[in-house]
Amino acid sequence: MDLSVAETASVLRSVIAPFVAQGAIVRRPRATAWAERHQTDRGAREMLAALRDRYDGAPLSMRLGPRRMVVVTRPDQVQRLLQGSPDPYSPASLEKRGALKHFQPDGVLVSGHDERRVRRPLNEAALDADQAVHRSGRTVVDTVERGARELENQVRATGGLDAQQFARTWWSMVLEIVFGERARDDLGLVELLDRLKRDANWSGLHPRRTRRRAELEQRIATHVREAAPDSLAGVGREVDAGAVAGQVPHWLFAFDAAAATTLRALAVATARQEVRERLRDELASADPEGPPAVLPYARACVLEAVRLWPTTFAVLRDSVRDTDWDGRTLPAGTGFVVVSSFFHRDPQRLDVADRFAPEVWLDGRADEDWGLVPFSGGPASCPGRNLVLLVASHLLVRLAGLDLRVQRARYLADDPVPATVDHLGLVFRSRR
């Protein structure tokens, strides 16, 4: 269905503009605060639901300058795009290539077909994509435990925790998980990457800073050479020493989403006693001597946080050949858009749309639903999913024991939960 100029303008205003304003690659704090004040995800979702109903679930085609973009509105259409990746639906969309070339031109996400054949297995192996607990799980959980202690000291010293204080400890943990203990203080690397990510928010409109990127590559190459064997880079080095450094910028970048999700899950836990208690009980019943525990409830809370507040606003695909949709041939080079917050919270399909309902991840309902894709799905889905769930769940159960209370807890204490939560504005206070 071709949208009219007026309908296209509404989609631009309600769906695309808030997402671009907040920063597709790295969030801009003033814009995320504005998005929360205006609950922008609600507007986006209502606009798409209205168009879905008006056109009976047909894909919505828009012309944006020379580009044709198709917004899908049914889970079977999402399934078709994601299962059909990377051919005929390539994850390396024009917009992603424009943005990610600033700091990860060799990342698998923006790779062509032949490079993907090498880089995807490398990512899967280094991140142990299929394993709930990474082969270096013990080291990962020890790092998380140390991070949790550091945050506890922070709470003791200042009486609370905000997103910025959380970030300092988080990034040390991430550097240790990615490269090993020697790297944990190199927060300068994170700052350098951040600056390039800020350029990436402007996609192709911002010139590339070649010198800065060369510096990033050189620093990462040094860390990879010196990486501990059980770090992610160390494991990746064993698989393909030549290609691993090119994947590291994406790993570091993607831990940003994991931080946002952990903070949001923690915010809900601190606002709801029953969630907090269940998390504490799960940690208490884990065997401290055995291999790192899979914490199903904590993992479900993390998944639920990223369902309710997806960190990838839109999953994008570009067709690499002509494809037929509803009896119509769309030419190669068409862009396809899956707007996560629309699918994740669609009250027409989901009775838990606006509820914090970790149980949907425990009873298999969510996994069967192609509309619930916080980590994407199909052959190009996130290979970091299990690692994220390991890190975030182990941190969450420990922080749940600190007796924190999130400011403005009343918005999260009951359902329905807000459409938009600015994780950068979260502030926690100790109850003690």
What does the binding site for ligand HEM look like in residue numbers (CB under 6 A)? 91, 108-109, 120, 123, 127, 250-251, 254-255, 257-258, 261, 306, 311-312, 315-316, 374-376, 380, 382-384, 387-388
Considering the complex, what minimum distance in angstroms separates the CB of residue 255 from ligand HEM? 5
Return d(Cα 44, Cα 224) in angstroms, integer. 41
Considering the complex, what minimum distance in angstroms separates the CB of residue 66 from ligand HEM? 22
Task: Give the residue nearest to ligand HEM (CB).
Answer: 384
- At a CB cut-off of 8 Å and minimum separation 6, what does 271 contact? 405, 406, 409, 410, 411, 412, 413
Return d(Cα 394, Cα 261) in angstroms, integer. 13
Considering the complex, what minimum distance in angstroms separates the CB of residue 201 from ligand HEM? 16
Return d(Cα 343, Cα 412) in angstroms, integer. 21
Considering the complex, what minimum distance in angstroms separates the CB of residue 315 from ligand HEM? 5
Nearer to ligand HEM, 155 or 382 (CB): 382
Helical H segments across 285-431, by residue range: 296-308, 340-344, 359-362, 385-399, 410-413
User: How many other C-beta atoms are found inside a 10 Å radius of the C-beta of residue 62?
Assistant: 21
Nearer to ligand HEM, 313 or 325 (CB): 313
Nearer to ligand HEM, 40 or 90 (CB): 90
| Cis-peptide, bond into residue 288, ω within 30° of zero | no
**Four-CA torsion 250, 251, 254, 260, nearest 10 degrees:** -150
Q: Which of 74, 73, 91 is closest to 83 using CA atoms?
A: 91
Considering the complex, what minimum distance in angstroms separates the CB of residue 41 from ligand HEM? 15
Task: Give the total residue count for the chain.
Answer: 432
Nearer to ligand HEM, 240 or 403 (CB): 240
Considering the complex, what minimum distance in angstroms separates the CB of residue 308 from ligand HEM? 12
Considering the complex, what minimum distance in angstroms separates the CB of residue 240 from ligand HEM? 14
Cβ atoms 68, 334 nearer than 8 A: yes
User: How many other C-beta atoms are found inside a 10 Å radius of the C-beta of residue 167?
Assistant: 16
Nearer to ligand HEM, 306 or 412 (CB): 306
Nearer to ligand HEM, 91 or 335 (CB): 91
Considering the complex, what minimum distance in angstroms separates the CB of residue 271 from ligand HEM? 20
Cβ atoms 345, 382 nearer than 8 A: no
Q: What is the CA 370 to chain-centroid distance, rounded?
A: 17
Q: Which residue has the tokens 């925790």?
A: 161
Nearer to ligand HEM, 123 or 393 (CB): 123
Considering the complex, what minimum distance in angstroms separates the CB of residue 204 from ligand HEM? 17
Considering the complex, what minimum distance in angstroms separates the CB of residue 317 from ligand HEM? 7
Nearer to ligand HEM, 59 or 155 (CB): 59
Nearer to ligand HEM, 58 or 178 (CB): 178
User: How many other C-beta atoms are found inside a 10 Å radius of the C-beta of residue 191?
Assistant: 10
Considering the complex, what minimum distance in angstroms separates the CB of residue 51 from ligand HEM? 22
3-state secondary structure of 365: coil
Nearer to ligand HEM, 69 or 387 (CB): 387
- At a CB cut-off of 8 Å and minimum separation 6, what does 15 contact? 44, 47, 48, 71, 339
Bridge partners, residue 297, by sequence: none
> For residue 2, what is the DSSP state?
B
Nearer to ligand HEM, 120 or 423 (CB): 120
- At a CB cut-off of 8 Å and minimum separation 6, what does 429 contact? 159, 160, 404, 405, 407
Cβ atoms 318, 89 nearer than 8 A: yes
